[in-house]
Amino acid sequence: MDARMKNPALVIPEAMRPLLDVAKATRTGGVPESVLELVHLRASQINGCGFCVDGGVKSARKAGVDDDKLFAVAAWRETPYFSDEERAALALAESATRLADSSDPVPDAVWDAAADHFDEKQLAAIVLTIGLTNLFNRLNATTRQPAGAGW
């Protein structure tokens, strides 16, 4: 598969720096990097962004996520590999990524479960990670960025 064009944030380089700054800021919220990487990977799977799934697996491995979790993240509810904290973050990632699938896209039960495990700053980091991932998924899927291509 060939890309239709470069990632738009590379075509307009002034756009990339602020996006990378947001990504870097999410890492200061007190959430384990491995959890943020799982959130990124799950949202990217839902959105069908091969570029981000490929990069997400590589980043998750660097953050210490083991293969059992990487192989099972798409079916996290049916596997024993994830902690309650990871499950809450993954449920939030799914709800916030599938906004159009429900009249109540992020139900109180999903939010409350996440809030049981994360404080406000941590929730902010997770929500920002989900939003930024969805942005990059849309940029990369629209322009058909191939998995493994790198920037």
**Rounded to an integer, what distance in angstroms lies between the CA atom of residue 16 and that of residue 92?**
26
In the three-class reduction of DSSP (H, G, I as helix; E, B as strand; rest coil), residue 144 is classed as coil
Enumerate domains of the chain plus CATH numbers: 32-140 (1.20.1290.10)
- What are the pLDDT digits (tens) for 94-140? 999 999 999 999 999 999 999 999 999 999 999 999 999 999 999 99
What DSSP string runs through 6-61? S-HHHHSHHHHHHHHHHHHHHTTSS--HHHHHHHHHHHHHHHT-HHHHHHHHHHHH
- What are the pLDDT digits (tens) for 1-20? 789 999 898 899 999 999 99
| Average pLDDT in the chain | 95
Helix 13-26 crosses helix 120-142 at what angle (to 10 degrees)? 150
Q: What is the largest CA-CA distance in the chain?
A: 44
**Rounded to an integer, what distance in angstroms lies between the CA atom of residue 73 and that of residue 115?**
21
Residue 151 has pLDDT above 60, yes or no: no
Find out whether 52 and 147 touch, Cβ atoms under 8 Å: no
- What's the gap between Cα 33 and its chain centre? 11
Place of tokens 């991932």: 133
pLDDT at 1: 74
pLDDT at 59: 97
**Rounded to an integer, what distance in angstroms lies between the CA atom of residue 105 and that of residue 97?**
9
> 45: closest CA among 33, 56, 60?
56
